Structure 1
Amino acid sequence: MEKAILKIENIQRYYGNKGVVTKAIDDISFEVKVGEFVGIMGASGSGKTTLLNCISTIDTVTAGHIIIDGDDITTLRGSKLSDFRREKLGFIFQQFNLLDTLTAYENIALALSILKVPVRKIETKIAKTAKLLNIEDVLHKYPYEMSGGQQQRVAAARAIITKPALILADEPTGALDSKSACMLLTQLSQLNEIEQATILMVTHDPVSASYCKRILFIKDGRIFQEMLRENETRKAFY
């Protein structure tokens, strides 16, 4: 049986103070197994972004536990939390968040340099990842010299290069045109298939969600439905 890389146990997230309390997450539990590509969908204000923020350690839960690769992140603080985030999580945001003064190669290499990976290994890893994401021709360009789609694929390369336990994608196609979005999602699917990368993606877009193998629907801070793709083609699932 596949190992659960992510376990969400009865988490709650409340905002506000006496009298006015908003339940952004209301007792959610689920698991994500190694090698899954899971989508989270819901209307604006449903709690999906808060959920992702809690899993990504940007926000903290009011109650419950989040266990990633055996570590309960709700108990981590300070440098231990920073180390965990750097070593175990990969992030792909709607905005590309590349450093303007660095080339694509340098942006990707930075993630490995922080982990003190030797230069020769960095070169090999970037070459392999660049080929996988079809960005070999932009490695020595600066962000302003690239299209949005190229920038997002460089950002994806930076997220996966460290082989994180879990890749978190927050509306990764939100700033892309449909052709670039399709290319990025196809390559994320290939990463999932070929590299067994575990991906959790928040999206409001049914087309993006159709690339996932399982979708959790959130409403009013709770999971109210789950869809499995199983053996369906992407188009049939859509």
Structure 2
Amino acid sequence: MPQQDDKRSTTVDTIQQLGQTNTPTSGESNIYCMSIIGQVEGHLILPPQNKTTKYEHLIPQLVAAEQNPKIEGVLVVLNTVGGDVEAGLAIAEMIASLSKPTVALVLGGGHSIGVPIAVSANYSLIAETATMTIHPIRLNGLVIGVPQTFEYLDKMQERVIRFVTRHSRVAEEKFKELMFKTGELTRDIGTTVIGSDAVRYGLIDGIGGLGDAMKELNRRIEERRSMKSGGMVQ
């Protein structure tokens, strides 16, 4: 019984701290599911009432998934409003650099900095009713009105645009058009696209749900196994 109690306590702690029922080291499955929900928290701690995903939690998990030979694929599930730009880009770069097959699934929403995270996987899916909001980078709080501030924002924005267009089929001109569109959002410039439009623009690869995502990920895992057995992958 003590061992069961300890295991139960560990599971509860994992859920509370990381939002996961198991970690990549558990060995119970060859697929690691990573959820990115609420707001992506970066260098500043958000208020306790905010539902957050902490990037300092996700990065070690991705490292563990990459190093664990029992993990053969990673499923990234998103329902996020966005958040810290640098933290979001760091997560996206980590996912994009994994050597193992990755599939992203957008449920509910993949807004703002959630867009680069969604396209960072090898293959991306979006639920038919899910939405993605594309808008320019914004800063909250005090902004120092000097040229260097606007140059920094412009460079950061270019990083986002470059990443998204490099990891999806959307054209840079189209992505910028969606980003700077006026009149659609009530208090800002930008565009909210639903599932079918995200696919039509080339931002997301296909419409689907959990079953479709698992099927695609398993297909890519089998493909990688075949390549390894043939000596094509080290």
**Which protein has the bigger strand share?**
1
Greater Rg by CA: 2
Q: TM-score, normalised by structure 1?
A: 0.30
* Higher RCO (CA-CA < 8 Å; seq separation 6+): 1
**Which protein has the bigger helix share?**
2
Q: TM-score, normalised by structure 2?
A: 0.31
